[in-house]
Structure 1
């Protein structure tokens, strides 16, 4: 390739990338195009589930591994003078393709009509959150008595497959006024091949938009696991925003007949409520924690131990980058619970009427 040809191709691919940024930004402002991408998501999701769900391991992890190796090779070539030009051009082309596929498969779903628009507008008061916290404390304490423990008295799941089956079943009976998205009777919920590494990043699970697989960290404490899977399965339904996936996960699990899923959901909801309260009334939160049942206290201690054993610079880095990603997609940061709590309080206010 001549120098002139190289510079021409480089300018073309750089221009294409800029045009993509501008086009997809413009598309995000046009409602009928957002509806088109929602419909397209349903089509590609069905196709990807049929294509990848039967594979026993996480094909998405394999795809990302291959991409990572390719990117590493290209970065090495970029440092060498002889291969620098071709490597830079290949990186530009790869970024263009990846960005385009990501946007049409997933990225545009961040601009769907928010769930909040379908719920009554009310003031999210401290008293309302405290009342719900007390309610979910009692619910979690009651459900905690019905689940299995390991020899150390810590919650343990003995049949994760039944939890997954229950989640897929509960997806079919979500409130119609919240969503008309169609659940599919296909199980593509898989443990990540990198669960051990994920434990050191603070990542509980992720949805792969290129394979429609819901990945989860299989090393998580059992108190985290069912709700994490419900959350990732909510992404499979097409809920892109993290806190909306939490809310759909809540709807999936809160009335479940599977006690493992029910407890994990109630416990997550309680923790989220307490996190939303602690800066306004720390004494109330301390009192609530003291009123945990003995089993819940053991679960909480095990969670804290798990986090302590896996914290460090890698966790901080991934937390920071995930925060940037969420904010770049018009979401709250990863440590913020307010939108989920907003949806929860508004939804529960309808039950009270």
Structure 2
């Protein structure tokens, strides 16, 4: 590429950043013309192109990209001394192209209309409403748990291999079609992450590759969690970039799934979030509610905690701090704390469901 063109591409990062800042102030525009406009076509195209592959094309691409970048740095690092300008232009030319691709192919969804506004839900809730919703999830989770184990003290172990789970995921989203037509999911593109071990050490159970549209699941995570992780990543795939919104959509898809292992995975995930919020507001009530949860469910929670503890390392906090900063830079003002705000969506959604039922 001619030097002048390289310089223009490198400098284009500045107007791109300004454009993203400007678009973030117009969520209705992003919602109408991108998230519900062109993005569904982009997502479906990628799922057709890469979904049929039995491995993650995106992970292979990342591996080659990392090798290429390291090789390029080794060959060009000396240029910093005698041709800093050229080195700087080359680096920012690549950054500019990646930045553009990220936002055009998926990242603009960070600036869409908040889900609670789309669903006409309140963003706040009372402690009484929280406790009521938590009690409902305890009852639901306990019932599903016993239907699987026949013993309230036994933990759940999924009988499905991950690939079986991936094939079953779309059915949960099909169940949501009547209420949320945009959530119908076909074709699928869910893969085991090729780099699940480093992903685990980073403290993450899954991710969406924004450049290939593939949803990835950490295959090392305890089996009972896989249906919920898969549903969460598909929610990202369908354009719900915010973590709290992807959690909420994933919970709905899992709990409405006809399979009891999916229902269980979604129900105890929602319950855990609710219990954490109860603890923050009323520790005494938390202790009361915890005694109502089947011992087997608590064993699954403990199993998951022990899994993450076994991979704890000094670098995990660095990765999470970096991701926290990434979220804040992409319109998620609460960073990783936004994960807990799924409770606001759950409480208000199920409270509305109760009002309609009555």
The TM-score normalised by the length of structure 1 is 0.89
**1:93 maps to what in 2?**
93
What's the offset of the Cα at 1:347? 0.6
**1:328 maps to what in 2?**
329
1:122/1:79 Cα in 2 relative to 1: closer, same or farther (>3 Å)?
closer
**1:352 maps to what in 2?**
354
Q: Where does the alignment leave 5 or more consecutive residues of structure 1 unmatched?
A: none
Residue pair 1:183, 1:237 contacting (<8 A) in 2 also = no
**1:49 maps to what in 2?**
47
Q: For each residue in 1:147-178, what CA deviation from the matched residue of structure 2 results, as whole angstroms up to 9, or x when unmatched?
A: 369xx95422222444333320221232656x
- After TM superposition, the structure 1 stretch with the greater mean CA deviation from structure 2, 203-212 or 289-298, is 289-298
- After TM superposition, the structure 1 stretch with the greater mean CA deviation from structure 2, 113-122 or 252-261, is 113-122
Alpha-carbon separation, structure 2, partners of 1:46 and 1:122: 31
1:154/1:314 Cα in 2 relative to 1: closer, same or farther (>3 Å)?
farther
Q: Where does the alignment leave 5 or more consecutive residues of structure 2 unmatched?
A: none
**1:20 maps to what in 2?**
16
1:20/1:336 Cα in 2 relative to 1: closer, same or farther (>3 Å)?
closer
1:75/1:289 Cα in 2 relative to 1: closer, same or farther (>3 Å)?
farther
**1:186 maps to what in 2?**
187
Alpha-carbon separation, structure 2, partners of 1:336 and 1:111: 15
Q: State the secondary structure of the residue aligned to 2:147.
A: coil
Alpha-carbon separation, structure 2, partners of 1:182 and 1:269: 19
**1:133 maps to what in 2?**
134
What's the offset of the Cα at 1:301? 2.0
**2:303 maps to what in 1?**
302
**2:203 maps to what in 1?**
202
**2:73 maps to what in 1?**
75
- State yes or no: 1:37 paired with 2:39: no
Q: State the secondary structure of the residue aligned to 2:208.
A: strand
- State yes or no: 1:174 paired with 2:176: yes
Alpha-carbon separation, structure 2, partners of 1:94 and 1:129: 47
Residue pair 1:109, 1:239 contacting (<8 A) in 2 also = yes
Q: State the secondary structure of the residue aligned to 1:121.
A: coil
1:24/1:136 Cα in 2 relative to 1: closer, same or farther (>3 Å)?
same
**1:232 maps to what in 2?**
233
1:294/1:304 Cα in 2 relative to 1: closer, same or farther (>3 Å)?
same
What's the offset of the Cα at 1:337? 4.1
Alpha-carbon separation, structure 1, partners of 2:178 and 2:91: 44
Residue pair 2:51, 2:188 contacting (<8 A) in 1 also = yes
- After TM superposition, the structure 1 stretch with the greater mean CA deviation from structure 2, 124-133 or 161-170, is 161-170
What's the offset of the Cα at 1:26? 2.4
**Number of corresponding residues:** 346
- After TM superposition, the structure 1 stretch with the greater mean CA deviation from structure 2, 64-73 or 101-110, is 64-73
Which structure 2 residues correspond to residues 156-305 of structure 1 after superposition, within 5 A? 156-159=157-160, 160-174=162-176, 179-181=180-182, 183-305=184-306
Q: For each residue in 1:67-103, what CA deviation from the matched residue of structure 2 results, as whole angstroms up to 9, or x when unmatched?
A: 2222223333453246765543322111111101111
Alpha-carbon separation, structure 1, partners of 2:42 and 2:178: 23
**1:116 maps to what in 2?**
116
Residue pair 2:209, 2:215 contacting (<8 A) in 1 also = yes
1:221/1:186 Cα in 2 relative to 1: closer, same or farther (>3 Å)?
same
What's the offset of the Cα at 1:50? 1.4
Q: For each residue in 1:47-70, what CA deviation from the matched residue of structure 2 results, as whole angstroms up to 9, or x when unmatched?
A: 211111111111111122222222
Q: State the secondary structure of the residue aligned to 1:170.
A: helix
Residue pair 2:201, 2:316 contacting (<8 A) in 1 also = yes
- After TM superposition, the structure 1 stretch with the greater mean CA deviation from structure 2, 341-350 or 74-83, is 74-83
1:337/1:26 Cα in 2 relative to 1: closer, same or farther (>3 Å)?
closer
Alpha-carbon separation, structure 1, partners of 2:318 and 2:92: 25
Instruction: Please give the root-mean-square deviation of Cα atoms over the aligned residues, in Å.
Output: 2.5
Q: State the secondary structure of the residue aligned to 2:202.
A: coil
Residue pair 1:204, 1:217 contacting (<8 A) in 2 also = yes
Alpha-carbon separation, structure 2, partners of 1:197 and 1:321: 15
Q: State the secondary structure of the residue aligned to 2:156.
A: coil
**1:59 maps to what in 2?**
57
